[in-house]
């Protein structure tokens, strides 16, 4: 349920409500506004009468949240969630671009591509160091060595790092290196991992599962938010359908639907959703036109010889061209690309 306090309610009244929430074996999630505080009370679904909280001093109204995803819903948090990441915001009028290779292959490779995407207009650097592959014999990533290379790239370019985390056992080590955890499609319903990430305060790029419904995606994200980590970005990265012309089917519908259902920022991934660099720019523009709050795209200096996902990777030149086109679309829908303090283009 959602407990709405009177404007200006003093802290002792808010604390009394929070104490009662905990007494009822629920978890409190307060949102402290400039003038008003709203407290979410969520738990295992057992019934607690609204009247218990309506009797407390300072309480203006108590509403039940109808959506099964309580904290992610717009019913709980009406305004768009906006949070800061190294000089730019996610979820507001700005549209950041995250770019980099599928896999960190070597020190020279990641340093070169980090500088290239920075100059092309990227605001953050992505790169995989733990690579779950269909074949157990394929390249599995450089692990912590790759993270060290990415940190060096961050030091040289100023770009924050977005890196996929694969297991609970990796979190403690990765927290020392990365700025944003990426939660991949295969792990969307890895609930132990979701709970563990929820206990951190590292922002999360949360990718939709290949066959997941929008509600299933939002329910899974609730595991992270309910743990106290509210800096969650939802990522539409294509779903599996009967169509075989592209790697996946980009669910452009998901962007405006998610924007209606949730306050969380929505990111579009045109690389994984198409699997073909020829279509990446078009889908990136479509995602921004549909209301996406950011883009994550794969870029490699030599896609033909990339260890993984070369077919869907843009060259630095194609990436810079895409950024210019996306900028025009963003301006047409009253948004703008992030002008990062690190940009040189």
pLDDT at res. 139: 77
pLDDT at res. 136: 77
Q: Show me where the domains of the chain are located.
A: 2-63, 83-337
Using DSSP, state whether 204 is helix, strand or coil. Answer: strand
CA 143 – CA 329 distance, rounded (Å) = 37
For the chain, which residues score pLDDT lower than 50?
342-345
Give the DSSP H/E element, type plus range, for residue 298: strand 294-298
pLDDT at res. 47: 79
Q: What CATH number does domain 83-337 carry, 3.20.20.70, 3.40.50.720, 3.40.50.12500, 3.30.300.30?
A: 3.20.20.70
pLDDT at res. 140: 79
Give the DSSP H/E element, type plus range, for residue 222: helix 214-226
181-219 confidence digits (pLDDT tens): 999 999 999 999 999 999 999 999 999 999 999 999 999
Q: How far is CA 54 from CA 25, 51, 134, 168, 283, in A?
A: 17, 5, 54, 40, 48
Is there a contact between 217 and 188 (Cβ–Cβ < 8 Å)? yes
Answer yes or no: CATH 3.30.70.1140 is held by domain 2-63. Answer: yes
């Amino acid at each position: 349920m959602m407990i709405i306090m009177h404007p200006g309610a003093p802290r002792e009244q808010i604390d009394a409500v929070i104490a009662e929430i905990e007494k009822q074996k629920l978890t409190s999630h307060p949102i402290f506004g400039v003038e008003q505080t709203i407290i979410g009370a969520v738990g295992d679904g057992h019934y607690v009468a609204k009247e218990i909280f309506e009797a407390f001093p300072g309480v203006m109204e108590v509403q039940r949240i109808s959506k099964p995803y309580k904290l992610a819903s717009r019913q709980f948090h009406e305004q768009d969630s906006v949070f800061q990441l190294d000089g730019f915001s996610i979820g507001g009028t700005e549209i950041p671009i995250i770019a980099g290779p599928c896999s960190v292959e070597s020190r020279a490779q990641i340093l070169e591509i980090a500088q290239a995407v920075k100059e092309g207009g990227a605001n953050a650097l992505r790169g995989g160091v733990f690579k779950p592959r269909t074949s157990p014999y394929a390249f599995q990533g450089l692990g912590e060595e790759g993270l060290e290379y990415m940190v060096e790239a961050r030091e040289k370019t100023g770009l924050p790092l977005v890196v996929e985390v694969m297991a609970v056992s990796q979190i403690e080590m990765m927290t020392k290196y990365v700025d944003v955890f990426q939660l991949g499609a295969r792990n969307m319903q890895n609930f132990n991992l979701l709970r563990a990430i929820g206990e951190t305060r590292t922002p999360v790029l949360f990718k939709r599962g290949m066959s997941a419904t929008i509600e299933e995606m939002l329910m899974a994200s609730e595991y992270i938010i309910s743990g106290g980590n509210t800096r969650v970005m939802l990522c539409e990265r294509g779903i599996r359908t009967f169509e075989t012309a592209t790697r996946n089917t980009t669910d452009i519908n998901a962007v405006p639907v998610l924007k209606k259902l949730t306050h969380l920022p929505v990111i579009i991934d045109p690389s994984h959703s198409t699997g073909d660099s020829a279509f990446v720019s078009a889908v990136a523009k479509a995602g921004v036109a549909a209301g996406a709050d950011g883009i994550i795209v794969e870029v490699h200096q030599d896609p033909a010889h990339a260890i993984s996902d070369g077919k869907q990777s843009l060259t630095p030149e194609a990436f810079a061209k895409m950024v210019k086109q996306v900028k025009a679309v963003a301006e047409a829908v009253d948004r703008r690309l992030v002008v990062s303090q690190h940009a040189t283009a």
